[in-house]
């Protein structure tokens, strides 16, 4: 299956409107109640996806002065499907001058025997703001994970700000060792990009006294940005760690 969802937000007076909400395949885009001048969109999954061989894509643009918030109604589950071929799930986000975009999907679950390549590519104008949150769960309850290959690439003002690549599951070297997940099943991160961070840059910090229940590190990036990365045994502990670090940054 090949499917694409497109979202475009523009400024209209004192509010943000959505002239483009187009989708097919497993995507169903719903307007949610706006929050102030921020338009909100919820992505519903209307069928099982991504399955092996699927090619899925989401494109979202916040034009100049627009403020856009995107979430999903439920977790995304990567499944094996009728073929062993890998699936792809590509997200492309663009944020123009004085615009903001919040990308806050529910967790991605890598089910046993699945094979998914996921990418998120982001292009930001110099005055744009971004809040991105991603969570990954390696396997459903009582099962091992599938193969998962993820990449996050961010450009600001045409220059690279972050390029992050990770692999998990069968065939990925050392993924379950102490250098990567250290036996945990839930991985999450929050990326904040805001020109205001140039004036008040955060300090690097490590949170979590007990590695068995998860830890989170706050890392300033070379730009007006901070990356919060967490490992935990489950999504409950992961949420608590990410929220605690986000509140302090």
30: closest CA among 89, 93, 73?
Answer: 73
**pLDDT tens column, 7-54:** 999 999 999 999 999 998 889 999 999 999 999 999 998 777 788 888
Mean pLDDT within 227-244: 92
Distance (Å, whole) CA 78 – CA 227: 25
Q: Is the pLDDT of residue 249 over 80?
A: no
Contact by Cβ (8 Å): 151, 165: yes
Which two three-digit tokens encode residue 44? 């519903």
Please report the pLDDT score of residue 147 as a whole number: 96
Could you tell me which residue, 89 or 24, shows the higher pLDDT? 89
Please report the pLDDT score of residue 236 as a whole number: 92
229: closest CA among 134, 119, 104?
Answer: 134
Mean pLDDT within 172-184: 90
Contact partners, residue 172, CB within 8 Å, separation at least 6: 147, 148, 149
How much of the chain, in percent, has pLDDT values that exceed 70? 98
Please report the pLDDT score of residue 248 as a whole number: 59
> Which residues sit opposite 124 in a β-bridge?
95, 156
**143 backbone dihedrals φ, ψ, rounded to 5°:** -135, 155
Please report the pLDDT score of residue 65 as a whole number: 98
Question: DSSP E strands: which ranges in the chain?
Answer: 2-12, 15-22, 27-35, 38-45, 55-62, 67-72, 76-78, 87-95, 100-104, 108-110, 115-124, 129-138, 147-156, 159-168, 186-193, 205-207, 215-220, 225-232
Please report the pLDDT score of residue 196 as a whole number: 92
Please report the pLDDT score of residue 42 as a whole number: 97
How much of the chain, in percent, has pLDDT values that exceed 90? 76
Which two three-digit tokens encode residue 131? 């809040």
Distance (Å, whole) CA 119 – CA 50: 13
What are the domain boundaries of the chain? 2-183, 185-249
Sheet holding 87-95, edge to edge: 15-22, 2-12, 55-62, 87-95, 115-124, 147-156, 159-168
Please report the pLDDT score of residue 169 as a whole number: 94
pLDDT band for 245, please (50, 70, 90 cuts): confident
Q: Is the pLDDT of residue 151 over 70?
A: yes
């Amino acid at each position: 299956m090949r499917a694409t969802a497109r979202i475009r937000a523009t400024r209209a007076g004192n509010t943000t409107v959505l002239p483009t909400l187009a989708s097919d395949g497993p995507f169903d885009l719903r307007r949610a109640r706006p929050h102030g001048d921020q338009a909100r969109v919820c992505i519903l999954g209307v069928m099982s996806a991504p399955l092996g061989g699927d090619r899925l894509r989401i494109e979202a643009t916040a034009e100049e002065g627009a403020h856009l918030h995107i979430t999903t109604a439920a977790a995304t589950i990567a499944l094996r499907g009728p073929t062993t071929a890998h699936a792809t799930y590509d997200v492309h986000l663009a944020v123009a001058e004085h615009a903001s975009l919040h990308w806050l999907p529910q967790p991605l679950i890598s089910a046993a025997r699945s094979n998914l390549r996921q990418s998120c590519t982001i292009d930001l104008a110099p005055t744009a703001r971004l809040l991105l949150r991603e969570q990954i769960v390696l396997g459903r309850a009582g099962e091992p994970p599938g193969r998962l290959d993820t990449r996050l690439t961010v450009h600001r003002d045409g220059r690279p700000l972050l390029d992050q690549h990770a692999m998990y599951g069968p065939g990925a070297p050392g993924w379950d060792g102490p250098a990567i997940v250290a036996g945990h099943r839930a991985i999450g991160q929050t990326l904040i990009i805001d020109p205001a961070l140039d004036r008040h840059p955060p300090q690097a910090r490590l949170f979590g006294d007990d590695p068995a229940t998860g830890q989170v590190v706050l890392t300033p990036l070379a730009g007006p940005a901070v990356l919060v990365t967490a490992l935990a045994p489950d999504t409950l502990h992961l949420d608590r760690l990410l929220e605690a670090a986000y509140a302090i940054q």
